[in-house]
A and B are shown apart, each in its own frame.
Chain A
Amino acid sequence: MNLTLPKWVDYGLMPLINVAVAFLIAGLVVLFVGESPVEAAYLMVRGAFGNGYNLGFTLFFATTFIFTGLAVAVAFHAGLFNIGGEGQAYIGGLGVGLVCLSMDTVLPWWVTFPLAIIGAALFGALWAFVPAFLQAKRGSHIVITTIMFNFIASALMVYLLAGPLQKSANLGPRTRDFEAGGQIPKLDWLFSPFGIDMGASPLNISFLLALIMSAMVWLIVWRTKFGFEMRTQGVSPRAAVYAGMPEVKIIVLTMMLSGALAGMMALNPVMGDQARLQLDFVEGAGFVGIAVALMGRSHPAGIIPAAILFGALYQGGAELAFDMPNITRDMIVMIQGLVILFAGAMEFMFRPALARIFATQQERPA
């Protein structure tokens, strides 16, 4: 059976159906718990978009997920599954933290920020380099090594934050607060002309960086020689070798690019919100990136809306937990799992049926 679908079905309708099924199941769980799914959905949407402050939080979370979503997507294009975004983002935060801690008192933010971007990207890329190199040269499975590297990163960061980088034992495992040079501006000025008051929400200029990076990823993947090699490797590794493409270089560079994107995620919470390096600031965003990339079909134009959807889920979910104490934020973790299941692992489930519907429609005029 021919399973090729019209592009708008493949990239528009399919993700929507997959997400709809995930939400349907989530609604059943809400019903099962004894609450009204309709009211829960209403509270969630209101909590995510109801006013400027909430919208600011939604976009703040979305910023994080754009970075991690892009990271997973880039690796997908080369046929690699980077499940280590979590660890790369954590170590990326170390890069940000080291830059800020050493320069925040002497330099203004607009000098530290570019340096911190480089630090985040570099540290994230280096953390992805080892698994990539081992995959390319020694054939160890990248999924397993990146999982292991997540745990190693976590242990390393606990060691550093509770040891060498700790400010004082009373404050717990975290660095000192960054001075003005280590904090980046908020983004409320961009929205206030539209009459949206974001108040004290943490949305900051790393949102703009996320959008720039989306464009960069599009350029690299679809408009450069390297991107072509990457996608060839992803579709058919043997064809790539036959065409004389450098396999080791493609794997290592793709993963380092992926790690760099994941690492940049740290800018948003560390410099944009908390203004210090603390434990667990990644909060599973590396894994949300998997759901975002799958839902966005690994294309920046899909990743941005998918990231905003997940941002809305995180923010709306927090508000929902406040109004309906029975529906905790764990609900969001479950929805995330369902989206990964239906948009990722079971993406072929609805495909034959859709192919049948659209095949008959196309044949009719002939």
Chain B
Amino acid sequence: METLIQLLDLTVRSAVPLLLACLAGLYSERSGIVDIGLEGKMLGGAFAAAAAAAVTGSAWLGLGAGIMVAVALSLIHGFASITNKGNQIVSGVAINFIAAGLSALLGQAWFSQGGRTPQLQPDGRFNPLELPLAETLYGIPVLGPVYRELISGHNLIAYFAFAMVPITWWVLFRTRFGLRLRAVGENPAAVDTAGISVSWARYRAVICCGVLCGIAGAYLSIGVSAGFVKDMTAGRGFIALAALIFAKWRPVAAMWACLLFGFLGAIEIRYQGVALPIVGVVPVQLMQALPYILTVILLAGFIGKAIPPKAGGIPYTKER
């Protein structure tokens, strides 16, 4: 029981940045802007958050800086792929490199700690919150420990990430903004005919994507750790992308996909080299590769079919 709760707790911790990045990608891709730059935006956000928090000592200013940098990177992606009608994949690759290079370069130039930012004090971080009555209810069998260990004790960003799941669903499927966002991703010409700007709808989607990526980055650098380390996103942006495909571009499914991939990550950390029942010792590398293998199998159409938004990746050209 104890170990199971710890494993699930670790699952949630690993899933939070994936979930935020995955939802970020959801906004962008649903509007027809393919985004393989999630990794770079998260990394840029993580660096800016840690750097600003280190200088100002405030976690909130750090979060703000992280969001601003990630949105700026998003807007570069938007400018290239919406205004200039460039190749969105190429632009995403470029964003990843620019963020990776610039964050490490500035980190070294500003703080001279090998690309790290200074260790943050508690004020500069989002610290674990204890939910009300966590101690009082601990005595209740099963529910008490689950409440105290699993549900309580995460930082604000983690709760925000899970709250964003229903919010994203509501925004996309129950608001005018969401309808238009999905419409420009499926059939931009029809939206244009209705007199609505395709570019503006896509730019707004890309900005939403940047905001969430920035928060995801901040979770890593000023939430679960006390500072930025070079390349600290370590491929999470790509796992989030895989989760997005796995979830077939749907918000609630995205949460389950991220929890699944987070669970694989948690097992990888917890059971490294430990013999599991039935299967024996699983090579840790297999666990690391599993999200990617599952996504490939899914994409090949063997576990249902993942159909991306119809206009994804295609720049919209207004006919003259």
Contacts and interface: CB of A to CB of B under 8 A. Distances in A.
Interface stretch (A105-113, A192-200, A345-353): A345-353
Contact of B86 (A149, A334, A344): A344
Nearest to B308: A141
Size range of the interface on B? 35 or more
Contact of B84 (A143, A334, A340, A348): A348
A155 B286 contact: yes
A354 to B, nearest CB: 14
Given A145-B296, A341-B76, A349 B84 contact: yes
A124 to B, nearest CB: 18
B91 A341 contact: yes
B296 A340 contact: no
B105 interface: yes
A360 to B, nearest CB: 22
Contacts of B109: 33-34, 326-327
Interface in B271-320: 283, 285-286, 288-289, 292-293, 295-296, 299-301, 308
B43 to A, nearest CB: 11
B101 A332 contact: yes
A144 B301 CA distance: 14
B93 to A, nearest CB: 6
A180 to B, nearest CB: 32
Interface string A303-326: 000000000000000000000011
Nearest to A332: B101
Interface string A329-363: 01111111110110011111100000000000000
Contacts of B228: none
A155 B288 contact: yes
B174 interface: no
A127 to B, nearest CB: 12
Interface string A113-140: 0000000000000000011001000111
Contacts of A151: 235, 238, 288-289, 292
Contact of B93 (A138, A327, A340): A340
Contacts of B101: 330-337
Interface stretch (A156-164, A206-214, A256-264): A156-164
Given A290-B90, A346-B80, A327 B308 contact: no
Contact of A345 (B84, B99, B241): B84
Contacts of A156: 285, 289
A294 B80 CA distance: 15
B89 interface: yes
A147 B84 CA distance: 25
B95 interface: yes
Interface in B61-96: 76, 79-81, 84-91, 93-96
Interface residues of A, number: 49
Contact of A328 (B90, B115, B285): B115
A148 interface: yes
Given A140-B296, A341-B91, A344-B94, A330 B285 contact: no
Contacts of B86: 344-348
A311 B71 CA distance: 32
B105 A328 contact: yes
A57 interface: no
Given A81-B89, A156-B289, A328-B108, A337 B97 contact: yes
B232 to A, nearest CB: 14
Contacts of B84: 345-346, 348-349
Contacts of B80: 341, 345-346
A334 B98 contact: yes
A328 B300 CA distance: 41
A297 to B, nearest CB: 14
B222 interface: no
Contacts of A341: 76, 80, 90-91, 94-95, 98
A326 B114 CA distance: 10
A344 B87 contact: yes
B184 interface: no
A337 B299 contact: no
Given A148-B295, A346-B91, A349-B84, 5 more contacts: A152-B296, A330-B115, A333-B97, A333-B104, A345-B86
Closest 5 A/B residue pairs (Cβ): A334-B101, A337-B97, A333-B101, A345-B91, A140-B299
23 contacts: A83-B93, A134-B299, A140-B301, A141-B308, A145-B296, A148-B242, A148-B293, A151-B235, A155-B288, A156-B285, A159-B283, A330-B102, A333-B101, A334-B100, A336-B97, A338-B94, A341-B90, A341-B91, A341-B94, A345-B81, A345-B90, A347-B86, A348-B86
Interface of A: 29, 33-34, 81, 83, 130-131, 134, 138-141, 143-145, 147-149, 151-152, 155-156, 158-159, 163, 287, 290, 294, 325-328, 330-338, 340-341, 344-349
